[in-house]
Amino acid sequence: MGRAVAIETIKLRKTYGTLTAVDDLTFQVYAGEIFGLLGPNGAGKSTTLRILITLLRPTSGQALVLGHDVAQEPDTIRRLIGYVPQERAIDRFLTGREHLLLLADLYHLPKDEAQRRIPELLKLVDLEDRADQPARTYSGGMKRKLDIACGLLPNPKVVFLDEPTLGLDVQSRLRIWDYVRQLKARGITIVMTTNYLDEADQLCDRLAIIDGGRIRAMGSPAELKAGLGGDIVSLTIGASDAGRVDALAAALRALPMVRAVMAKPAGLDIRVESSEKALPAVLEAANRTSCRLELVDYHRPRLDDVFVAHTGHLIREEFPQGEQD
Amino acid sequence: MHEYVQEVGALTMRWVRRLSREKFSMLFTLVQPMLFWLIFFGNLFQRAADVQVTQAPNYISFLAAGVVVMTVLNNGLAGGVDLLFDKENGFLERLMSTPINRTSVVVSRFLFVTTITCLQVLVILGVAWFFGVEAATGLPGIAMILLISMLFGVGLTAISMALAFSVKSHGDFFSVLGFLSLPMIFLSSALVPLQAMPAWMSFLAKFNPMTWAIDAVRPLILSGWAEALPKIGMVVMIMLVFDAVCLYGSARAFRRAMG
Rounded to a whole number, what is the distance in Å from the CA of A74 to chain B's nearest CA?
8
Under the banding of pLDDT at 50, 70 and 90, the label for residue A229 is confident
Q: Does B90 touch chain A (CB under 8 A)?
A: yes
Q: Is the domain of A238 the same as that of A166?
A: no
Residues A37 and A51 in one domain: yes
The minimal CB distance from B14 to the residues A54, A86, A94 is found for A94
The answer to the question of residue A197 being in a domain is yes
In this structure, the answer to whether residues A218 and A262 fall within a common structural domain is no
The proportion of chain A whose per-residue pLDDT surpasses 90, expressed as a percent, equals 53
> A294 lies in a domain?
yes
Q: Are A187 and A234 in a shared domain? A: no
pLDDT score recorded for residue A86: 80
State the average pLDDT over residues B204-219: 94
Question: How far apart are the C-alpha atoms of B2 and B14, rounded to whole Å?
Answer: 19
Residue A321 lies in a domain: no
Classify residue A313: in a domain, yes or no: no
Domain boundary among A224, A241, A269: A224
Q: Verify that A245 and A140 share a domain, yes or no.
A: no
Q: Which residues of A touch B10 (CB under 8 A)?
A: 101-102, 105-106
Stretch B91-114: mean pLDDT: 93
Contact yes or no for B112/B161 (Cβ under 8 A)? no
**How big is the CA angle at B87 (ends B30 and A105), to the nearest 5 degrees?**
75
CA distance B149 to B65: 11
8 A C-beta contact, residue B142 and residue B221: no
Asked if A162 and A262 sit in the same domain, the reply is no
Tell me if residue B249 falls in helix, strand or coil: helix
Collapsed DSSP state (helix, strand, coil) of residue B32: coil
In this structure, the answer to whether residues A171 and A81 fall within a common structural domain is yes
Residue A9 and residue A124 in one domain: yes
pLDDT in tens, B6-15: 999 999 999 9
Is A13 in the same domain as A116?
yes
Burial B215-252, CB ≥16 within 10 A → b, else e: bbbbbbbbeeeeebeebbeebeebbeebbeebbebbbe
Residue B70 has pLDDT above 90, yes or no: yes
Residue B121 has pLDDT above 90, yes or no: yes
pLDDT tens column, A59-90: 999 999 999 999 999 999 999 999 998 867 89
Nearest to A310 by CA among A258, A260, A239, A236: A260
Q: Which residues lie across from A261 on neighbouring strands?
A: A270
Chain A neighbors of B16, CB-CB under 8 A: none
Domain check: are A90 and A175 in the same one? yes
Cα–Cα distance measured from residue B213 to residue B210, given in angstroms and rounded to the nearest whole number: 5
Q: Does A316 map to a domain?
A: no
Residue A72 lies in a domain: yes
Q: Is residue A314 assigned to a domain?
A: no
- Could you say which residues from 139 to 168 on chain A have a Cβ atom under 8 Å away from some Cβ of chain B? 150, 154
Amino acid at A1: M
8 A C-beta contact, residue B256 and residue B163: no
Among A55, A94, A108, whose Cβ lies nearest the Cβ of B96?
A55
CB within 8 Å: B17 and A54: no
If one counts every other C-beta atom within 10 angstroms of the C-beta of residue B89, the result is 17
**Torsion (CA) B113, B114, B117, B122 in degrees, nearest 10:** -150
Give yes or no for a contact between B152 and B68, defined as CB atoms under 8 angstroms apart: no
Answer yes or no: do A27 and A122 share one domain.
yes
At A289, give phi and psi (nearest 5°): -95, 10
Domain span including residue A251 = 230-300
**Total structural domains within chain A:** 2
Q: Which residues of A touch B81 (CB under 8 A)?
A: none
Selected for mutation to probe chain B from A101, A106, A148 (highest B CB count within 10 Å) is: A106
**Structural contact between residues A249 and A309, judged by C-beta atoms closer than 8 angstroms:** no
Indicate the residue type of B139: L
Q: Where residue B30 falls among pLDDT bands split at 50, 70, 90?
A: low
Q: What is the CA radius of gyration of chain B?
A: 19
Instruction: ipTM value, please give it.
Output: 0.86
In this prediction, residues B125-133 reach a mean pLDDT of 91
